[in-house]
């Protein structure tokens, strides 16, 4: 069981065999979220490549 007292907390969970999560609120109510309903969108990644030639190579490289 994991208790969180701040909305800014970062939680790392092992989702093996987890089907539903339950969040208990401070007012005593709870919320249930099924794992299949949780949508995770990773934050964007910004990469700065200062070398113009190398950047051009990477952008124009069609290898997969």
Question: How much is the pTM?
Answer: 0.27
Q: What is the mean pLDDT of the chain?
A: 71
What sign results for the dihedral spanned by CA atoms 14, 15, 18, 21?
positive
Between the alpha carbon of residue 47 and those of residues 25, 34, 43, 54, 60, the distances in Å are: 38, 34, 13, 13, 16
pLDDT digits (tens, 9 = 90+) for 28-52: 777 766 666 666 677 778 878 888 8
9, two tokens: 């907390």
Question: How confident is the model at residue 12, as a pLDDT?
Answer: 64
Mean pLDDT over residues 53-61, rounded? 84
Which residue intervals of the chain are DSSP H helices?
A: 52-60
Domain total for the chain? Answer: 1
Question: How confident is the model at residue 9, as a pLDDT?
Answer: 57
Domain of 53, in residue numbers: 1-64
């Amino acid at each position: 069981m994991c208790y969180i007292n701040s909305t800014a907390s970062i939680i790392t969970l092992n989702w093996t065999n987890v089907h539903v999560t339950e969040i208990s609120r401070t007012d005593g109510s709870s919320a249930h979220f099924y794992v299949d309903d949780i949508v995770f969108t990773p934050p964007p990644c910004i990469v700065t490549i200062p070398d113009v030639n190398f950047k051009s190579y990477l952008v124009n490289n069609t290898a997969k």
